[in-house]
């Protein structure tokens, strides 16, 4: 936004500090009215013909705008993606421990990426990895929904789980 002397247009449509239309005036008249009010002349709509300028306290406006943005960021929840790594030959107890960690992540409303890295000849047997993924989902199904189903890419298999609402 351009303010005060930065505005180079000859004529502007002026809006005063109360929000009342003052009509189309020359830039000199608009600057004088802003000075008399002790406020700034701010170009709020540069693409309009003629451009729209408003008389306002620009410092106060910027402060309130930054306060609003800060409030919005505070209310925003950043969803993290946590990863749980399994193996094609994982034992039941080990899987239960990993499922317990995954439920903790899901209760915090984070997404969980479940991955299996195949070693050696295991990569040829993607069905074993799929069975492990299904068994893992059965353990966490009370807390999770499948965001992306299990998919094998080379030596890795991924599945992304999201928290239930």
pLDDT tens, position by position, 37-64: 889 888 888 888 888 989 998 889 899 9
Nearest to 88 by CA among 134, 35, 129: 129
Number of domains the chain is built from: 2
pTM, full prediction: 0.55
Burial (0-12, 13-18, 19+ Cβ within 10 Å), 82: middle
- Of 162 and 74, the structure prediction assigns the larger pLDDT to 162
Let me know how long the chain is: 165
CATH, residue 67: 3.10.20.80
Preceding peptide of 76 cis, ω within 30°: no
Confidence label for 10 from pLDDT (cuts 50, 70 and 90):
confident
pLDDT tens, position by position, 79-126: 889 999 999 889 999 999 999 999 999 998 899 999 999 988 888 888
The whole domain housing 93 covers: 81-163
145 and 86 share one domain: yes
Decide the pairing of beta strands 40-45 and 21-26.
Answer: unpaired
């Amino acid at each position: 936004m351009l303010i005060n002397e930065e505005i180079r247009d000859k004529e502007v449509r002026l809006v005063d500090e109360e929000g009342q239309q003052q009509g189309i005036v020359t830039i000199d008249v608009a600057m004088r009215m802003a000075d008399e009010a002790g406020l700034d002349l701010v170009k709020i709509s540069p693409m309009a013909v003629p451009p729209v300028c408003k008389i306002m306290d620009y410092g106060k406006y910027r402060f309130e705008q930054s306060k609003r943005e800060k409030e919005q960021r505070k209310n925003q929840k950043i969803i993290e993606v946590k990863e749980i790594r399994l193996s094609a030959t994982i034992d039941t107890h080990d899987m239960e421990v990993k499922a317990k960690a995954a439920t903790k992540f899901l209760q915090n409303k984070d997404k969980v990426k479940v991955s299996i890295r195949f070693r050696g000849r295991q990569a040829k047997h993607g069905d074993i990895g799929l069975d492990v993924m299904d068994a893992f989902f059965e353990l966490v199904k009370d807390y999770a929904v499948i965001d992306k189903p299990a998919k094998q890419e080379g030596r890795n298999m991924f599945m992304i789980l999201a928290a239930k609402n």
